[in-house]
């Protein structure tokens, strides 16, 4: 399967991954295997399908990190002590074709390295996952990359059960959680080492403690049609449309394209971080300029929406209107302010309480880098704004009413050579690696 990234978190000193890797490599699939762990600083593989990636220990952290660097549009999370049946990989491909929007899990069975009574746990896992819709991470979740990121990734703050919490969030958001109808094997060593009664009882108690409050949330969200907030990132597809023409006039088309590619990665990174910190309250969309490019590889991390046709006012109106029907709040940003702190998005989501208000992040040149609102906005209002002008933000405030405005701190976007110089001097404290990378890239254009 060419479009699959397999992500395997590995604890320090753990060796079970070697057998799993052997299982995977015995297949002829053209997938990507990402092993993530604290022991992999100097590891490498002769097989181009395999990547060893260093990350601090913490299963949620390791899995999220693996997903963030994955290059394929489908993700399959496996525990290091998992073993596969011959049909496992074929099932992943088959099921994601049947329902690309769903999250799938395997039926769990245990290797003969634990107590004989483990068949009871296998039966319990079957009914827990099929009847109660509560599969755990050792059942090999697989899904589209867009689905994973739209749900806010695994909770890195959870003391345990990040996989369990992830499934509850999916159900609360109306995402289908379905069986793959194929088997996955896992080790039962801890049941032998710690004791079957002790381990099984502990799992039941911890599951109950997490499940009850999440079940209450599920009941509550069924009565709320729109409880998530949307972030739409307006983008053009590199290699298809003209990119950053005003910047290209001073640094050349190739450099402008290189900047845009880096800026896209930085924007994706800080939006991902905001989604993760919001625990799924934010959902991101690439608002793609070209109608036929929504499936381009650049846009495989978030859901996509077409900007539609017409001038910028028409396209802003179209995207806002579509998302406002599905989400309680809608925020519109561009992909040319790579230095934006993810906390700005969280602050905007937190401050926008009333449907009578709107929130605005102005740029220093008179435009805006963020707009957010809750209520219906008439198309005529969007059309009345003079875009790409020093009067853009002031005209927008005039149309909506200054008394309704909530202002964020001013920032800047990158349109001209002088903006690149400003970016080169931007402080990198508290920024993400992808943001720091684009700032370092900009330094080569700084004049002495």
Give pLDDT tens digits for 322-372: 999 989 999 999 999 999 999 999 999 999 988 888 999 999 989 999 999
pLDDT higher at 435 or 27: 435
Q: Which of 37-41, 251-255, 361-365, 399-403 has the lowest mean pLDDT?
A: 399-403
How many whole angstroms from its chain centre is CA 79? 20
377: phi then psi, degrees, rounded to nearest 5: -120, 125
Q: For 268-284, what is the mean pLDDT?
A: 89
pLDDT of amino acid 356 = 83
- 386-434: per-residue pLDDT in tens? 988 889 999 999 988 888 989 999 999 999 999 999 999 999 998 999 9
- 177-214: per-residue pLDDT in tens? 999 999 999 999 999 999 999 999 999 999 999 999 99
Indicate the pLDDT class of residue 448, thresholds 50, 70 and 90.
low
In this predicted structure, the answer to whether residue 223 has a pLDDT above a threshold of 60 is: no
d(CA 78, CA 92): 12
Indicate the pLDDT class of residue 217, thresholds 50, 70 and 90.
confident
pLDDT of amino acid 43 = 87
The answer to whether the Cα torsion of 132, 138, 144, 147 is positive or negative is positive
Which residues are CB-contacts of 196 (< 8 A; sequence separation ≥ 6)? 114, 115, 117, 118
In this predicted structure, the answer to whether residue 35 has a pLDDT above a threshold of 90 is: yes
Strand bridging mode 142-144 / 74-77: antiparallel
The answer to whether the Cα torsion of 17, 22, 23, 25 is positive or negative is positive
Distances in Å between the Cα of 291 and the Cα atoms of 123, 147, 240, 256, 309 are 48, 21, 11, 23, 9
Distances in Å between the Cα of 8 and the Cα atoms of 21, 104, 216, 441 are 9, 17, 32, 32
pLDDT higher at 304 or 227: 304
Indicate the pLDDT class of residue 224, thresholds 50, 70 and 90.
low
pLDDT of amino acid 78 = 97
- 116-130: per-residue pLDDT in tens? 999 999 999 999 999
Which residues are CB-contacts of 415 (< 8 A; sequence separation ≥ 6)? 244, 246, 247, 336, 365
Nearest partner of 107 among 81, 80, 74, 85, judged by Cα? 85
pLDDT higher at 106 or 222: 106
Q: Which of 70-79, 219-228, 304-313, 329-338 has the lowest mean pLDDT?
A: 219-228
In this predicted structure, the answer to whether residue 225 has a pLDDT above a threshold of 60 is: no
Q: Which domains does the chain show, CATH number per domain?
A: 4-221 (3.90.550.10), 229-445 (3.90.550.10)
Structural contact between residues 280 and 169, judged by C-beta atoms closer than 8 angstroms? yes
| Intra-chain end-to-end CA distance of the chain, in Å | 51
Q: How many CB atoms lie within 10 A of CB 315?
A: 18
CA atoms within 13 A on the CB side of 365: 14
Predicted TM-score of the model (pTM): 0.85
Which residues are CB-contacts of 186 (< 8 A; sequence separation ≥ 6)? 79, 81, 82, 83, 108, 109, 110, 111, 138
- Angle, CA 101 vertex, CA 98 and CA 105 arms, to 5°: 75
pLDDT of amino acid 227 = 78
- 116-168: per-residue pLDDT in tens? 999 999 999 999 999 999 999 999 999 999 999 988 899 998 999 999 999 99
């Amino acid at each position: 399967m060419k479009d699959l990234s397999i992500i395997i978190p590995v604890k320090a000193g753990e060796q079970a991954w070697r057998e799993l890797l052997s299982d995977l490599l015995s297949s002829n699939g053209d997938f990507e295997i990402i092993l993530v762990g604290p022991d992999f600083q100097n590891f490498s593989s002769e097989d181009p399908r395999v990547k060893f990636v260093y990350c601090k220990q913490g299963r949620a952290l390791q899995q999220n990190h693996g997903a963030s660097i994955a290059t394929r549009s489908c993700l399959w999370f496996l525990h290091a002590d998992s073993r596969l049946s011959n049909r496992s990989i074929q099932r992943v491909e088959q099921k994601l074709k049947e329902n690309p929007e769903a999250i799938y899990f395997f039926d769990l069975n245990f290797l003969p390295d634990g107590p004989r009574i483990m068949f009871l746990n296998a039966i319990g896992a079957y009914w827990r996952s099929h009847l109660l819709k509560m599969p755990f991470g050792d059942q090999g979740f697989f899904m589209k990359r867009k689905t994973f990121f739209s749900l806010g990734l695994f909770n890195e703050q959870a003391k345990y059960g990040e996989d369990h919490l992830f499934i509850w969030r999916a159900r609360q958001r109306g995402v289908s959680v379905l069986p793959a109808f194929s088997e996955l094997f896992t080790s039962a060593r801890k049941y032998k080492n710690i004791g079957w009664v002790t381990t099984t009882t502990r799992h039941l108690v911890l599951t109950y403690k997490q499940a009850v409050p999440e079940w209450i949330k599920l009941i509550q969200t069924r009565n709320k049609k729109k409880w998530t907030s949307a972030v739409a990132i307006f983008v053009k597809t590199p290699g298809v449309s003209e990119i950053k023409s005003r910047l290209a006039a001073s640094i050349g088309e190739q450099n402008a394209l290189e900047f845009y590619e880096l800026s896209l990665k930085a924007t994706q990174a800080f939006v991902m971080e905001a989604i993760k910190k919001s625990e799924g309250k934010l959902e991101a969309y690439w608002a793609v300029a070209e109608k036929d490019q929504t499936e381009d590889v650049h846009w495989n991390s978030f859901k996509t929406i077409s900007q539609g046709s017409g001038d910028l006012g028409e396209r802003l109106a179209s995207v806002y209107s579509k998302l406002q029907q599905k989400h309680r709040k809608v925020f519109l940003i561009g992909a040319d302010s790579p230095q934006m702190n993810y906390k700005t998005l969280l602050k905007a989501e937190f401050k926008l309480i009333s449907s009578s208000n709107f929130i605005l992040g102005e740029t220093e040149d008179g435009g805006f880098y963020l707009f957010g609102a809750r209520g219906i906005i008439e198309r005529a209002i969007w059309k009345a704004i003079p875009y790409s002008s020093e009067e853009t933000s002031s005209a927008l405030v005039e149309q909506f009413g200054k008394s309704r405005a909530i202002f964020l701190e001013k920032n800047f976007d990158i349109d001209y050579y002088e903006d690149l110089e400003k970016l080169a001097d931007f402080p990198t404290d508290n920024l993400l690696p992808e943001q720091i990378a684009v700032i370092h890239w900009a330094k080569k254009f700084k004049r002495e």
